[in-house]
Amino acid sequence: MSGEKSVILVTGGSGLVGQAIKQMVEDEKLRNTEQSKNETWVFCGSKDGDLRDKTKTEALFEKYKPTHVIHLAAMVGGLFHNMAHNLDFFRENMAINDNVLHTSYKYKVKKVVSCLSTCIFPDKTTYPIDETMVHNGPPHDSNYGYSYAKRMIDILNRGYHDQHGCCFTSVVPCNVFGPHDNFRLESSHVIPALIRRMDDAMIKGEPTFTVMGSGKPLRQFIYSLDLAALFLWTLRSYDSVEPIILSVDEEDEVTISSVAEAIQKAHKYQGEIIYDTSKADGQYKKTASNKKLRRLYKDFKFTPFEQAIEETVAWFKRNRETART
């Protein structure tokens, strides 16, 4: 992209990752970087066009005429929301992805970077998982609808590359959190749910705080601002159709109980954390290897987990009235 004028359309631009990318882009403009002089960024949310609808998707592309696309838009939700709506997650995400990629092909977009998820990987597998293992078996039963729909982006990317020579690729982040997350209790992921619920408990003066499940499952979490920086690198520097995992290192994997304790520390909550072991834990672990990323981008520094939690909790407290709650 160096030296050329580009228009980058970000679908799902009002969400967690989209807003983090927007912050990174605005920081580059303030620094007056060479990239910022040649790039026009358009961040679109669901109000700008329903990507489940082919005609509305094409209208969006006709309006902005993007040269590049970062595709983040998806129907998303936490464990229990997924378990209850697998069919909806599959159908809606399949429609969104097919419309965005086919319209990108139709409008001769030079590059598309789509966002996948580590939940696409097989449930029964060896660890750590890497980019070669995406299609090696069924995903976990709890969210198979979302997982299969996300997997199919990889198939579409390969098809458009093989049949039409398109530079369509994908990234696979581990669990993302940060400012602008979804803090709605019925559909949020684990970190924003814990942040919101613990804030509620503090407001009510509750002496105990309950975490659903045993607290033992392990997860890798990436701060949204770190992921945003890696998205920019992928858009500008990574040209393979093969997916690339964007994850913290394997040794940075943490238990859900450690997450709850970090949030407790950031909130300064004085109550006791208890665990409701009658609730489902979901997949015990899904450790991802970032060796490919480390090989291609050796010097990248991730934000320390506790610092990222502190910044996210502080953002939520400042923005509770306007956050997605």
Query: Tens of pLDDT along 216-239?
Result: 999 999 999 999 999 999 999 999
Say if residues 70 and 12 touch (Cβ distance below 8 Å). no
SS3 96: helix
In a domain, 60, yes or no: yes
In a domain, 255, yes or no: no
In a domain, 92, yes or no: yes
In a domain, 176, yes or no: yes
Q: What is the CATH number for 93?
A: 3.40.50.720
Q: Dihedral sign for Cα 42, 44, 49, 54, please.
A: positive
Angle, CA 114 vertex, CA 112 and CA 117 arms, to 5°? 165
Q: Which residue has the tokens 């858009």?
A: 235
Say if residues 188 and 198 touch (Cβ distance below 8 Å). no
In a domain, 117, yes or no: yes
Give the integer Cα–Cα distance in Å for 223 and 179: 9
Which residues on neighbouring strands pair with residue 173, listed in sequence order? Answer: 246
Provide the token pair at 87: 């069919």
Report percent pLDDT > 90 for the chain.
Answer: 83
- Structure confidence by residue, pLDDT tens digits, 67-91: 999 999 998 766 666 677 799 999 9
Q: Any catalytic annotation for residue 275?
A: no
Candidate list 144, 146, 223, 238, residue with the active-site label:
146
Domain count, the chain: 1
In a domain, 29, yes or no: yes
Q: Dihedral sign for Cα 44, 233, 16, 289, please.
A: positive
Report percent pLDDT > 70 for the chain.
Answer: 97
Give the integer Cα–Cα distance in Å for 211 and 269: 14
* The overall pTM is greater than 0.85: yes
| DSSP conformational letter for 39 | E
In a domain, 19, yes or no: yes
Q: Which residues contact 161 (CB under 8 A, 6 or more apart)?
A: 167, 168, 241
| DSSP conformational letter for 218 | E
User: What residue numbers bound the domain in which 175 lies?
Assistant: 6-180+220-249+287-303
In a domain, 203, yes or no: no
- Structure confidence by residue, pLDDT tens digits, 157-213: 999 999 999 999 999 999 999 999 999 887 778 999 999 999 999 999 999 999 999
- Structure confidence by residue, pLDDT tens digits, 265-315: 999 999 999 999 999 887 788 899 999 999 999 999 999 999 999 999 999
Q: Which helix (H) or strand (E) holds 175?
A: strand 175-177
Provide the token pair at 135: 């299609």
Angle, CA 159 vertex, CA 156 and CA 161 arms, to 5°? 110
